[in-house]
Structure 1
Amino acid sequence: MHLIIAEKHIAAKRIASILAPGKTKQVRVSGVDTYEYESDEGKKIFMGLSGHIVKLDFPAAYNNWQKVEANELIGADIITTSTQVKIVAALKKLGKTATKVTIATDYDREGELIGVEALEIIRQVNQNIEFERVHYSAITPKAIDDAFSNPTNVDFNLADAGHSRQVIDLVWGASLTRYISLAAGRLGKMFLSVGRVQSPTLSLIVEREKEREAFISKPYWELSAILKSKSGEEFKAEHRTKRFWDKEEVDAVMQKISVGDEALVTELTTSEKIDKPPTPFNTTEFISAASSIGFTAANAMRIAETLYTNGFISYPRTDNTVYPESLDLRAQIEIFKTGAFKQYALKLLEKKELIPTKGKKETTDHPPIFPASLARKSDMNEQEWKLYELVIRRFFATFADPAKWETIRSKYDIKGEEFKANGARLVEPGWRWYYHYNAPEDRLIPKMEEGDVHSVTKVDVEAKETQPPGRYGQGRLIKIMEEMGLGTKATRHEIISKLYSRAYVHGNPLQPTKTAVAVVDTLEKFAPTISKPDMTSKLEADMDRIAEGGIPEEDVLNESREMLELVFNELEKNKDDITESLRAGLREDKIIGKCSQCDSNLMVMRSKRGGRFIGCEGYPECNFSLPLPRSGQVVVTDRFCDEHGMYHIRIINAGKRPWNLGCPQCNFLEWQKSREEEKEKEGGNRERPKSINDINGIGKVTAEKLADAGICSVDELCAADALELAKVTSIPIKKIKNWQSEIA
């Protein structure tokens, strides 16, 4: 029996349908769906994994944070545990009787490791099994047929490189996270995550925020005039002094010119600007383009993976920006001679030669991202179609002609003051006809000649201020990470997702929370090695050398442990200072604003029963408080409510969209108002219950459940998030909403 192993179930199913169309039957093995058919060579069985089916971990004895020092993890044994019991059981069962195994996982570092993990499980029960490897960049009939016709060897060096990353990230992440979290007193779900790639990336974001905070805006003024040509067309001209830094200077010019003055055309220059086509998509460029049309990095890669496994695009994890000679580019375009992109494909196919653009990076593992097969809009959801279309249009654009613009530069004399106006008109769309994203618009000015006279219809001065450097968007941040050697094409978007999930950043562009600033400040001051990219980029380079067979994995692992020992030496020298620095910084992240009643700080607090609320530090003299949702991390933003003296807050729950709660006081008042309006609509003359036990349907047991969830008063029940409360108490959400409606 010949066993073929793909990385995911859907890939196994598609590969089976390509190699044996209409002949496979679905067979369940140990709870896992497989696909088998009888060939001339015997039975073939296709099965999919679920990515990694095993994980690395420390022995259970190391799990107690209070008893095991963080630095003990550096040299601790690392064990492998199963994460997919059914798949492992199926592999062993099928592996026992298999005579040959083909590893058909994705062809990259991670895919090679996933394949080797499966192979090692099979070799436990069938030590002498024959095995081979197939490489493909798209799950299409041609790509799969070619791959299985030309099998190669498993690359154990590449798998070792992937394994070394897992070990290094586990040891660095677990030990540093434990140390920093214990120092800060942040345990449980609120622990402070620290990582080899994560922390230098977070440092980039924090440093940019500090640049913004240190930036001092400088006022300036812009002077413009609206001119009217003889034909009656109006357009805008700007003073030759782009920015006036002295108000008196711009006022002096304003006194010289006025509506009705003549504007003499003193100079007119027309030229042509060539706009070159874009280069092919690699992962970084794809994420950047997807980000510009509204996709987060993680979402873009998740959807790209779906498009790939369904055979619609090529493998989306690639550094390559040069199409390989082995790719039949004309045939690839011909796929789209029918369907939604027919007119674009036919236009390209008119070319005698199809010469694509080339980027700076050329690799041999995978080609740049390209559309692999024709799809209809009904084959996918709206988001998938948007990214599928993006890939198609980018692919087409790389073969298209340059775009050409006609540019016009003009100068005018108005009472001795020089004004300028620039125009641009797209005369040959070229590649922009295929790839219309973020296209600049025409800036049209009337036809004119030197010596023409226009009239001034309006003069305007606009007061402005210089702006701080912008925060990083996800696409831009991933490009910087790539430049600095932080992470890989397969992991950078995951690092950014982790920063969001740990409530280190919020929004897009990314804004760091005060917790993030506290962690980075502490690391940069007392253990700078962790927050700088040098160490992690060195390890990334070493992992590349493992993949190339230039250095043994064990050497790199030993080197990484030595680096980490030095980091811990830095930490231990400054242990007390680190604790003080972290706790002082984290306290700031709980400050919501000033109390309107006593001017003390309003803080995120917890009740004795675990409930969460905004309370006044002046308690017990001041008992001002506001309710908060029970679950989710509270993120204090930099938006400020002047009316109530509080910062806006966000609530972040893993796997859900962030909830912009806004100013807590405004939110509470709005909630009260809506309740009163509902009550009026119902014509409610009912007396409001004074305690939880007065509410119809709440007995002793239910009241205890609510109390355990931090709901001890009628007001707290009113303000509670019904869905979250239902999850915590197991009380039906409908019943909770009925109570809230009754007591409103």
Structure 2
Amino acid sequence: MADSLVIVESPAKAKTIGKYLGSKYIVKASMGHVRDLPKSQIGVEVENDFNPKYITIRGKGSVLKELKDASKKVKKVYLAADPDREGEAIAWHLAHALELDDTQSLRVVFNEITKTAVKDAFKTPRKINMDLVNAQQARRILDRLVGYKISPILWKKVKKGLSAGRVQSVAVKIILDRENEISAFVPEEYWTITAKLAVNGSAFEAKFTQLNGAKKELTNEQEVNEILEAIRDASFQVGEVKERERQRHPSPPFTTSSLQQEAARKLGFRAAKTMSVAQQLYEGVELGKEGTVGLITYMRTDSTRISGTAQEEAKEYITEKYGDPFVPESPRQYSKKAANAQDAHEAIRPTSILRDPESMKPFMSRDQLRLYKLVWERFVASQMASAVLDTLSVDIAANNTVFRATGSKVRFPGFMKVYVEGNDDGTTEEDKYLPELHTGDVLEKQDIEPKQHFTQPPPRYTEARLVKTLEELGIGRPSTYAPTLETIQKRGYVAIEEKKFMPTELGELVIEQMEQFFPEILNVEFTANMEEDLDHVEEGSEDWVKVLAEFYESFEKRLEVAEEEMKEIEIEDEVSDEICEKCGKPLVYKLGRFGKFLACSGFPDCRNTKPIVKDIGVACPKCKEGHVVERRSKKGRVFFGCDRYPECDFVSWDKPSTKPCPSCSSLMVEKKSKQGVKLQCTSCDYSEMVEEPDEAADL
């Protein structure tokens, strides 16, 4: 007969933990939060120390009744929500809703859902940590005040349906600022000269670097021609040869932020998808006879710390699998990357290194396996010896010019045998091998290639790059990145094109008003300092009411000024050349969540709308009658489809090419990769590169 009730957040977690604890425990799920601020009103008594008015979340009444009934039938209730601020708040709300004594030790936390970790956690239950709860309450109330106080002003002065958010608004401004940088960017011309040389039949490349003993940047064709003339009949002779050893160290195990970034780079996962799949791995996967097992540690963490037990297991595995040389002299310790990192939990790692991805393959979905493999490899590599590379730099003289060739080769792979971190630019560090060269060697000149380039504007933000920027600036916290990126898209303030964020006209309009009347909300330093204040509340060194009061004092004044001085903006509809096919009136351009669309000027009598489409000059390969046009999905993502839809349902995420496949005459589409842009046939294996990556893409 069960004498204890354990309440967790999800049914999957309940199922796993129930198996570990046995028949003396009933394990049920709260399905997340059970109480929250009401949606219909602000729900905060500002004049009464910001007292929140919590209500039962709609639809959770039956869940609470079930939990209440179960709690009355047992001697003890344990609250085992996730080990973070949100989890602590859920436990506190449950204690109030179930009328439990929250001064008792009824809170149980574990960083991994394994049999040992769970059973150990139940040996040492603790009281609910009110500092954690108050930090969560302060953030929730702060965001409620910003959203529910500013949004009505925007509705009245600008456009109905608009809303403002604290962290979200800063994220949109960062994206908008980058777009403005791109618009203002003036490209500058520069040139490179590459000499293709050979010695003893081995070819390699060298780039021009110096003229008359000084470093020389080539900025125009005239300068290039002067260099070409100088080396026309020159012999190329090896001058200084520099050899050195370089060590390359592994990256630390994953934090929430670095996992989101790397999953975006290597797997193409959106931040929300990464967190969803990671949650599944944390809560448990059915492993046949072994039962349900949590495969990774808690995935909301900013710590790179690893337990001694996990390090010892990793050492034994690496020694057995790869040999002693691959084990570092002492276990690796990684310092906190960010000054504001809380270090409350371990880094994200496998719960057992012995469960390698290959052995887990039969039990996982494709996405689960790919993310688990990433976590597993990153952790193993983080505990391995550094790689040793031999680098070679060779200066080659030709008359009064110097060309330089560089290369490297791996002497000892170390951690690179398992894993190498990606980067935001999509480039990889490839070995460039050079033949054996000695001072005085005369080289064979095979070709001289001058090439014109133009500097490129800073790149738009990908999800990985934006998450990295938010973390570096101290905006938000690891658990907030995924919902923040989802929110700014749902509200229509940004759209995604080619996996990069672009601000919409709606986003620009809102940020313009926010900058004028609520500059502190968009101020990066102000927002980062607010995050630090919330961290101090969590640590118990700051009073949460005081933090809110200090914020609200100036915020209230801003609200009054905005209410009085913000001018009403009338967004006039621009009349198009198109006529409504339903009523004959002109169609006008309307501003929607994902930019402009066409709507009938006869609204509300006629509610006809249609997207603005761009013909890309390609005949539909499916129906042969329509044309392929550029469209946007409901989430703002660009795709291509037939203009005869719904009669023809042809769609493609990749842009179709006007050029048919030379091999089979089928449709070819543009594929973008780290190597550049290539045309790929949709029917056969034919492909061809049409655009190389620009070497100056991030200058």
Could you say which TM-score interval applies, normalised by the shorter chain? Answer: 0.7 to 0.9
* Secondary structure at the counterpart of residue 470 of structure 1: coil
1:131-530 alignment, distance < 5 Å: 131-185=105-159, 187=160, 191-229=161-199, 231-240=200-209, 243-258=217-232, 261-293=234-266, 294-310=268-284, 311-325=294-308, 327-331=309-313, 345=321, 347=323, 351=327, 355-361=331-337, 363-373=342-352, 374=355, 376-438=360-422, 440-507=429-496, 508-530=499-521
Moved more, 566-575 or 406-415: 566-575
**Alpha carbons of 1:344 and 1:533: their partners in 2 closer, same or farther (altered >3 Å)?**
farther
* Secondary structure at the counterpart of residue 330 of structure 1: helix
**Alpha carbons of 1:605 and 1:109: their partners in 2 closer, same or farther (altered >3 Å)?**
closer
* Secondary structure at the counterpart of residue 500 of structure 2: coil
Distance 1:559 1:520 in 2: 24
* Secondary structure at the counterpart of residue 491 of structure 1: helix
**What is the CA distance between 1:534 and its match in structure 2?**
3.5
Moved more, 75-84 or 192-201: 75-84
Residue of structure 1 in register with 2:654 after alignment: none
Distance 2:325 2:312 in 1: 7
Distance 2:403 2:576 in 1: 49
Distance 2:334 2:173 in 1: 33
Kept in 2, the 8 Å contact 1:74–1:175? The answer is no
Kept in 2, the 8 Å contact 1:225–1:458? The answer is yes
**What is the CA distance between 1:604 and its match in structure 2?**
3.2
Residue of structure 2 in register with 1:48 after alignment: 29
* Secondary structure at the counterpart of residue 197 of structure 1: helix
- Give the TM-score of the pair, scaled to structure 1: 0.72
**What is the CA distance between 1:128 and its match in structure 2?**
8.8
**Alpha carbons of 1:306 and 1:128: their partners in 2 closer, same or farther (altered >3 Å)?**
closer
RMSD of Structure 2 on Structure 1 (CA)? 3.7
Distance 2:177 2:321 in 1: 46
Distance 1:214 1:128 in 2: 58
Distance 1:73 1:184 in 2: 32
Identity %: 27
Kept in 2, the 8 Å contact 1:344–1:396? The answer is no
- Of 578, 589, 611, 1:604 maps to 589
Kept in 2, the 8 Å contact 1:58–1:76? The answer is no
**What is the CA distance between 1:360 and its match in structure 2?**
2.5
**Alpha carbons of 1:669 and 1:265: their partners in 2 closer, same or farther (altered >3 Å)?**
farther
1:639-678 alignment, distance < 5 Å: 650-653=631-634, 658-661=637-640, 667-668=642-643
Q: Give, as a single letter, the amino acid of the residue that structure 2 aligns with 1:233.
A: S
Gaps of 5+ in 2: 211-215, 285-293, 423-427, 580-585, 603-607, 619-627, 651-699
Residue of structure 2 in register with 1:689 after alignment: none
**What is the CA distance between 1:72 and its match in structure 2?**
12
Kept in 1, the 8 Å contact 2:349–2:376? The answer is yes
**Alpha carbons of 1:506 and 1:74: their partners in 2 closer, same or farther (altered >3 Å)?**
farther
**What is the CA distance between 1:518 and its match in structure 2?**
2.0
**Alpha carbons of 1:173 and 1:216: their partners in 2 closer, same or farther (altered >3 Å)?**
same
* Secondary structure at the counterpart of residue 264 of structure 1: strand
**What is the CA distance between 1:198 and its match in structure 2?**
0.7
Distance 2:77 2:48 in 1: 36
Q: Deviations over 1:120-139 (max 9, x none)?
A: 1110xx66995521221000
Distance 2:197 2:475 in 1: 52
**Alpha carbons of 1:72 and 1:149: their partners in 2 closer, same or farther (altered >3 Å)?**
closer
**What is the CA distance between 1:510 and its match in structure 2?**
1.7
* Secondary structure at the counterpart of residue 149 of structure 1: coil
**What is the CA distance between 1:640 and its match in structure 2?**
9.7
Higher relative contact order (CA 8 A, sep 6+): 2
**What is the CA distance between 1:90 and its match in structure 2?**
1.0
Normalized per residue, the structure richer in helix is 1
Distance 1:616 1:104 in 2: 54
* Secondary structure at the counterpart of residue 193 of structure 2: strand
* Secondary structure at the counterpart of residue 472 of structure 1: coil
Kept in 2, the 8 Å contact 1:650–1:660? The answer is yes
**Alpha carbons of 1:427 and 1:128: their partners in 2 closer, same or farther (altered >3 Å)?**
closer
Residue of structure 2 in register with 1:88 after alignment: 64
Distance 1:154 1:244 in 2: 66
**What is the CA distance between 1:368 and its match in structure 2?**
0.8
**Alpha carbons of 1:321 and 1:593: their partners in 2 closer, same or farther (altered >3 Å)?**
farther
Q: Deviations over 1:55-108 (max 9, x none)?
A: 211556x79xxxxxxx99998974423232221111221223333211111111
Q: Deviations over 1:642-692 (max 9, x none)?
A: 99xxx98642425xx835248xxxx537999999xxxxxxxxxxxxxxxxx
**Alpha carbons of 1:73 and 1:414: their partners in 2 closer, same or farther (altered >3 Å)?**
farther
Distance 2:433 2:37 in 1: 62
Distance 2:329 2:29 in 1: 41
- Of 109, 112, 115, 2:85 maps to 109
* Secondary structure at the counterpart of residue 542 of structure 1: helix
Q: Deviations over 1:11-68 (max 9, x none)?
A: 1211111122xxxxxxxxxxxxxxxx24xxxxx31111211122211556x79xxxxx
Q: Deviations over 1:233-278 (max 9, x none)?
A: 22211111574113211112223334x7531112211111111121
Distance 2:39 2:254 in 1: 39
Q: Deviations over 1:561-603 (max 9, x none)?
A: 3343122134124311xx33x837xx6xx899999xxxxx985
Residue of structure 1 in register with 2:674 after alignment: none
Q: Deviations over 1:149-199 (max 9, x none)?
A: 2222211221121122222212211222222133222x3xxx223101111
Distance 2:564 2:253 in 1: 50
Kept in 1, the 8 Å contact 2:185–2:457? The answer is yes
**Alpha carbons of 1:269 and 1:506: their partners in 2 closer, same or farther (altered >3 Å)?**
same
**What is the CA distance between 1:471 and its match in structure 2?**
1.6
Kept in 2, the 8 Å contact 1:315–1:369? The answer is yes
Moved more, 352-361 or 8-17: 352-361
Distance 1:149 1:99 in 2: 16
**Alpha carbons of 1:328 and 1:226: their partners in 2 closer, same or farther (altered >3 Å)?**
closer
Kept in 1, the 8 Å contact 2:149–2:559? The answer is no
Q: Deviations over 1:403-424 (max 9, x none)?
A: 1111111122224322111111
The count of residues paired between Structure 1 and Structure 2 equals 593
Residue of structure 1 in register with 2:38 after alignment: 57
* Secondary structure at the counterpart of residue 467 of structure 2: helix
Q: Give, as a single letter, the amino acid of the residue that structure 2 aligns with 1:223.
A: I
Moved more, 436-445 or 278-287: 436-445
**Alpha carbons of 1:387 and 1:400: their partners in 2 closer, same or farther (altered >3 Å)?**
same
Gaps of 5+ in 1: 21-36, 39-43, 64-70, 596-600, 607-611, 620-625, 676-744
Distance 1:538 1:244 in 2: 45
Kept in 2, the 8 Å contact 1:409–1:422? The answer is yes
**Alpha carbons of 1:615 and 1:195: their partners in 2 closer, same or farther (altered >3 Å)?**
closer
**What is the CA distance between 1:119 and its match in structure 2?**
1.2
1:693-704 alignment, distance < 5 Å: none
Asked whether 1:583 is paired with 2:571, we answer yes
